[in-house]
Amino acid sequence: LHRGSLRLYPLPRTLLLPDSRHGNWSLIEIQTSTGAVVHYSFASKGPSTHDVSRPQACSTCQAATTALSQHLRECQQPCPEWQVDHQRLASDREVDRSETRFLWTMAQRAGGLPVQGDPPDTFRSSLAQTIVAEVLQSRTSQPPSLIGGLTGLSRHEKAERRWSAVTGHSGTLDLTSTWQRVAQMPLGGAPMGWEQADRLLQLTFNIASPAVLVGIKRQLSHLRAREHDATRPFGRSAAGVFEAGLWHKSNEQSSRIGLALTCWYVHDLRQQHSQRGCPDPLGQTVGDIIQGLPADARDYRQVEDKVKEWSKRAWPWKQLARIARSPNILCFLPQGVGYFSGEEGSSMTDYRTLKKTQFEAMEAVLQQFRPRLLQNVPPDFFEIFLYNRLPAARFAFEQWMDEEMLQEPLDSSKFDHAFDPQPN
């Protein structure tokens, strides 16, 4: 939430978000289907850190609902109208009562129970007994829980277990040595480290994973439902890409795929002019766009500003397209989903933060372990999202059930026929 992003798939019906401001704990409860938001505060003395009379002005609630709204849009899910309420559950009893009240409220709401009244006198002793029992259990010979927590694995152990048994097209692979080798690669003058290597490998294997294909299927369904709207397909030209880019930017229902492809296309066109020896690649790219625009839409300054902006943002998308030898890869980046259960999903923003060394490591891993990535995707598939152009024939996987797809391993042979055109 602090990064402005939320990665939960599937999204639970209830979210409980602890928060601490100025030494005071509070709890935000969000009902994701109805849009009801309740912010519980527990400050026992002094003014509340939240304005009870203006709950909509709470910056923490705004950050939470903004992140949720973004997540729902990326998953092509309806976004409710958020209704924020504030409840102060303070007590003037002993000093640590507010912390106790906070923990009790969180436990009550996790179980769907009411929070009126004070916690029972036995709550703290019961909580202490539970913690001691958890610690003792973790020291027994019982195998650790995969869920984590006090009885779970450490982050390093979870990563080690993850890469020791990756299920893919050719069976189960042990990528522990690959993970360790990537961790030793230099990044910013020091080894990358096991945590960044773990995250990088997750980004690598999340590309075109079954959950991503489910997301693509849903986006195609959404586009087909709007096929007869006023928005027309854009022309296959520099001007068409420019018009599409403006539409992608202003269209809330559009995914980030179209904008990423717009940035890639404009940068690629500019680079082509440079490689041909053009003395002014920027001016030539702007000229290509202006030439194809209607006379009343030829705003040179606007076009030039957009070409500069999109070119500046294109670097990570250019790296991915180079690695895959096709811009199709930009259509198959995760948007809040992941292949590995129990871990947070990935988003397109995660790829924008990668450095050159990390892209090189990703390329080597893909070449070694996923050489058939996107091999059976039509070469012009990306035009669906770039130009808003749907093919008349549906793809085979548009008829498949979500559960059926999610049960398949990474790069399953079943997906070799996912893009076979089906007769109307």
Q: What DSSP string runs through 152-189?
A: B--HHHHHHHHHHSEEETTEEE--HHHHHHHHTSEETT
CA-CA distance, 98 to 118, in Å (whole number)? 11
**pLDDT interval class at 251 (50, 70, 90):** low
In angstroms, how far apart are the furthest CA atoms of the chain?
A: 80
Q: What is the pLDDT of residue 114?
A: 79
pLDDT tens-place string over residues 53-105: 555 568 888 888 888 888 777 766 778 889 998 888 765 555 457 788 888 88
Could you give the percent of the chain with pLDDT greater than 90? 42
CA-CA distance, 267 to 307, in Å (whole number)? 8
Q: 128-142, 271-285, 299-313: lowest mean pLDDT where?
A: 128-142
Q: Could you tell me whether strands 83-88 and 36-41 are parallel, antiparallel, or unpaired per DSSP bridges?
A: parallel
Residue 335: is it exposed, middle or buried by C-beta count within 10 angstroms (0-12/13-18/19+)?
Answer: buried
**pLDDT interval class at 117 (50, 70, 90):** confident
Instruction: Compute the mean pLDDT over every residue in the chain, rounded to the nearest whole number.
Output: 83
Q: Could you tell me whether strands 171-173 and 190-191 are parallel, antiparallel, or unpaired per DSSP bridges?
A: unpaired
Q: Strand, coil or helix: what is 26?
A: strand
Q: Strand, coil or helix: what is 300?
A: helix
Q: What is the pLDDT of residue 100?
A: 83
Name the pTM for this structure. Answer: 0.65
Q: What is the pLDDT of residue 252?
A: 52
Q: What is the pLDDT of residue 274?
A: 93
